[in-house]
Structure 1
Amino acid sequence: MTANGGGGPDGGVVSPHGPAIAAYGEALALVHDADVASVRALAELGRSALREAHRDGVRGLASDMELRSVAAEAAGLARRTDRRLQADIDHALTVVDDYPTVFAAWEGRRITRDHVDVVVQAGTGLPDEVRGEFEIAAIAVCERDIATRVKPALRALAERLHERTFTDRHRDATAGRCVRVSHGADGMSDVTATVPTVIAVGMLDRLMQMGQSVKDARVAGAGVGAGAAAGPDAASADEAADTRTVDQLRADILGDLVLGGAPVVDPFYGTDRAGGLGAIRARVQVAVTAETLTGRDENPAEAVGAGLIDSDTARQLAGQVGEWDRLFIDPVTRTPVEIDTYRPTASMKKLLMARDQHCRFPGCRRAAIRCEIDHTVDHALGGHTHIFNLAHLCQRHHSMKQFTTWEVRQLGGGVLEWTSPLGRVYREDVPIPAVCFTSETANPPPVDGAGGPPPPDGPTPF
């Protein structure tokens, strides 16, 4: 794409926006230089980690731990999550080392960063022998148009250069099938499934058929209700009409199938006993105030690790819980009774889950129900199983604490202080309490008839 000069002192019309456009152009140049420098620095950071891990000929777990460690260090500088930083390091290594010609074209402003990303994506899986040829041809394609419009041409180019058949590559690609969740606003989230195309098309077709069937039954039911021969299964006159759209029906049916259906891959599917997989039900960790739970207010609750949910859904989930365990904590120290065993008691686990809510490594928000309880000072080294020597860590950061030189200590009150291998200190405060039960009576009865003043009520997740 080209642009004219926009006029000037020789009779052309001068745009009043000229200075602003020029300032934006200067800003773009600064961003370009910064992006190039950032990718180069991230690639060097990755190389440094790999060199350190391979210095003594050690590979495998040691390499991954070194990458995790430096990614966490860089994440502290960038104020981002270490998982995202490690992904950026991997991408930078790919761009700089595997696509040097494309990187040079980007550095020379022949193409944009968006072009680089689509080229790398299209070239995934190409053999090393043809990557150089692909780079040169891809740059020529990218110079003709913006990044979003060259994707089909780049995919076609990569397809022509592939030495393996599409069938073979698809067989390998199916190993990357997965399901992801992106949390949005207003208590809604997007569920994305990466599956073989034929499966995706079949899933959508079945949902469409099921949605249409419900829609047809709704119309037929309305016709039966209008006549005199309505049977016992006909909807009652005061039953709310089903006004869901086809899109809404498909979404509801998908949720019903996933949450309530027995999967075909169940080892016991089709036998004379219920399949174990079909009996599994989803788990959601919810934090809600007593006022919202009792209907005194309509404030949203929190699905820990996900986002906010509406109060009606929170109360509905709470109503399905068969047993509530209230947590009692010391009125002065706010700590539960310490135990001598390695594993914390059930009440301690619930208090920790309500306190931590998520992994306690800086920037990580993996929900506590998906984490492990770690002794900050190892139990084998004399660390006590005490509420202030325990914290939730996800598997990634639990193993990183164990196998790298990242150090952590608890400052009291559940506050964690992390020290990186380079000596930077990060303080991970206790999340804001999302649950608090209070008593309406001035002198509640003692607990378990033990006598004496009872401890105050503590938070309870469900």
Structure 2
Amino acid sequence: MDVSAEQVATLDELVDLAQSVQRSITSMQAGLDGVLALASRWAMEAAGDVDEVDLTFRSVAAELGAVLRVSDRTVQRRMSDAEVKVDRFPVVWQAQGAGRISAGHARVIVDAGDYLEDPAAREAYSVRVLEFAEHESPNRLRPIAARLAAQYQARSLQERHEDARQKRAVWVTDVPDGMAELGVRGPAVLVHGVFDRLTAMAKAVDADASACEDRDAPEDPRMLSQTRADLALDLLLTGAPAGHDTPDVLLAAISGQVSVTVPVLTLMGAEDAGTPAPELDGRCPIDPATARLLAGAATGWDRVLTHPITGGLLAVDRYRPGESLRRHLRARDQRCRFLCCGMPVRRSDLDHTQDAALGGATEEGNLEALCRRHHILKHHTPWHVEQLPDGLLEWTSPTGRVYIDQPPAQNTVTFTDTDPPPDTEPPDNPWANPPPRHLTPF
């Protein structure tokens, strides 16, 4: 690379600037951790009664989440993490505040040493690991921190493993282009055993495909990792849980369920750039071919009629009798209507805005979807909600701040004033030119 001295000097200045900005960001993140830790302490002190601690934390987290524009669940986790860092690892927090290490370094150090119960051992561990953290990246620091923490740990690995098993979990992360990631945390022996079995099965499938080449069988184009992923999903969706099934084998009969919204034009085969993509549970787009396959295999679906100009919800009907109001609200709300919450409506409650026991009517203008967490928050904390026209919810926080939550936009086709007006006369074939709508298989 042939560059001039001036270009080298410019690059040097950019590197210095990047380092300075990064230190400022790191310091501000440490400052926010301090604020969140103080909020956590305030919630603990304000609760008074042990039974009120959880609701108080939820209320405080909801207030912070509203102004930070993130889910209150996320804020509550960050409050807990910040309190651990500030109270249990003050040396690490101070190093982050001074810009000596990043938030990623601090997270690695805290995660590795979180099980150290003796304050003196934690401080000694923190000082020792910081010597490496200032010169290593977070990913290189992780094994170093684990080894150092073990040197200050009085408990055996067996004891620590028993505690760690309590954190086993499964989670889903949405990624672009109609895809998602499934994560599993469990005992290392079992997780690696699962991966090894999937790998062996994938190789067997590949070997079988190779053996079939002489019989003019179609070639399997999948790579090993793709076959492994297909096998994992196949087993999880159709396999029997042998280790957990009931004596009458009821678990094996349970199948997975999803809710998909599909614009009617997509069902008719339109896939141009102007056609809205099908959506899974209001969370992420999915490919049209999968959406059409699900719609065709569904035993029934809701039809959602929308305004051709605004896209607003007009009505919901079904080809079989059912609970029309519930279907209408599920289609309108799509997810929990508390601020920043994305819990799907199928996992939420239908709540009366004005309590039914106090005369609140069971009608669209007095009902909204709330997940169980925020349903409880509404009834047992100072948070208050009023429903405005067009499904708008006006939330008032304990500090008096007012926030407006709008129902999600419908996944539909809309038209502008420049579009040709719809036919005023009904066509001979009612399906030849259907009104804008989308379908929700179940």
TM bin, normalised by shorter chain, reads 0.7 to 0.9
Give the conservation status (yes or no) of the 8 Å contact 2:27–2:96: no
Report the more deviating stretch, 387-396 or 213-222: 213-222
In the other structure, the counterpart of 1:31 is 25
| Counterparts of 2:304 and 2:138, CA distance in 1 | 56
Residues 347-426 of structure 1 aligned to structure 2 (within 5 Å): 347-426=324-403
Q: Given the alignment, which residue of 32, 40, 48 partners 1:46?
A: 40
Matched, 1:189 2:180: yes
| Counterparts of 2:258 and 2:316, CA distance in 1 | 25
In the other structure, the counterpart of 2:440 is 461
The 1:336–1:285 alpha-carbon spacing in structure 2 relative to 1, beyond 3 Å, is closer
Q: Deviations for 1:255-294, whole angstroms, at most 9, x for unmatched residues? A: 11001111113433xx6x5x21111111111111111112
In the other structure, the counterpart of 1:123 is 113
Compute the displacement of 1:114 (Å).
Answer: 2.5
In the other structure, the counterpart of 1:161 is 152
* Seq. identity, %: 34
Q: Given the alignment, which residue of 245, 250, 259 partners 1:285?
A: 259
Runs of 4+, deviation exceeding 6 Å: 327-330
The 1:189–1:440 alpha-carbon spacing in structure 2 relative to 1, beyond 3 Å, is farther
In the other structure, the counterpart of 1:178 is 169
| Counterparts of 2:39 and 2:130, CA distance in 1 | 27
Matched, 1:107 2:97: yes
Q: Secondary structure at the match of 1:383?
A: coil
Normalized per residue, the structure richer in strand is 2
Q: Given the alignment, which residue of 75, 84, 97 partners 1:85?
A: 75
The 1:161–1:19 alpha-carbon spacing in structure 2 relative to 1, beyond 3 Å, is closer
Q: Deviations for 1:76-120, whole angstroms, at most 9, x for unmatched residues? A: 221222111111111111111111122223333443332211110
Could you tell me which runs of 5 or more consecutive residues in structure 2 were left unpaired when the two chains were aligned. 415-421, 429-434
Q: Deviations for 1:24-44, whole angstroms, at most 9, x for unmatched residues? A: 454344324422321111111
| Counterparts of 2:143 and 2:413, CA distance in 1 | 54
| Counterparts of 2:104 and 2:30, CA distance in 1 | 12
| Counterparts of 1:28 and 1:198, CA distance in 2 | 39
- Which has the higher relative contact order, 1 or 2, with Cα contacts under 8 A spaced 6 or more apart? 2
| Counterparts of 1:279 and 1:25, CA distance in 2 | 57
Matched, 1:318 2:292: no
In the other structure, the counterpart of 1:73 is 63
| Counterparts of 1:197 and 1:75, CA distance in 2 | 35
Could you tell me which runs of 5 or more consecutive residues in structure 1 were left unpaired when the two chains were aligned. 1-7, 227-234, 338-344, 446-455
Q: Secondary structure at the match of 2:50?
A: coil
Q: How large is the Cα RMSD of the aligned pairs?
A: 3.1
The 1:328–1:107 alpha-carbon spacing in structure 2 relative to 1, beyond 3 Å, is closer
Compute the displacement of 1:418 (Å).
Answer: 0.9
Give the conservation status (yes or no) of the 8 Å contact 2:240–2:252: yes
In the other structure, the counterpart of 1:453 is none
The 1:441–1:123 alpha-carbon spacing in structure 2 relative to 1, beyond 3 Å, is farther
| Counterparts of 1:372 and 1:138, CA distance in 2 | 47
In the other structure, the counterpart of 1:260 is 238
Q: Deviations for 1:340-363, whole angstroms, at most 9, x for unmatched residues? A: xxxxx6222222111111111121
How many correspondences in the alignment? 414
The 1:296–1:103 alpha-carbon spacing in structure 2 relative to 1, beyond 3 Å, is closer
Counterpart AA for 2:211 = A
Q: Deviations for 1:409-459, whole angstroms, at most 9, x for unmatched residues? A: 11022111111111111111121112579x9995599xxxxxxxxxx9976
Q: Given the alignment, which residue of 189, 195, 199 partners 1:198?
A: 189
Give the conservation status (yes or no) of the 8 Å contact 1:327–1:347: no
Residues 225-236 of structure 1 aligned to structure 2 (within 5 Å): 225=215
Counterpart AA for 2:295 = A
The 1:222–1:184 alpha-carbon spacing in structure 2 relative to 1, beyond 3 Å, is same
Q: Secondary structure at the match of 1:16?
A: helix
Give the conservation status (yes or no) of the 8 Å contact 1:266–1:278: no
In the other structure, the counterpart of 1:136 is 127
The 1:42–1:251 alpha-carbon spacing in structure 2 relative to 1, beyond 3 Å, is same
In the other structure, the counterpart of 2:419 is none
Q: Deviations for 1:9-53, whole angstroms, at most 9, x for unmatched residues? A: xxx998134554454454344324422321111111111111101
Counterpart AA for 2:127 = I
Greater Rg, structure 1 or structure 2? 1
Give the conservation status (yes or no) of the 8 Å contact 2:31–2:97: no
Q: Secondary structure at the match of 1:295?
A: coil
Give the conservation status (yes or no) of the 8 Å contact 1:435–1:459: yes
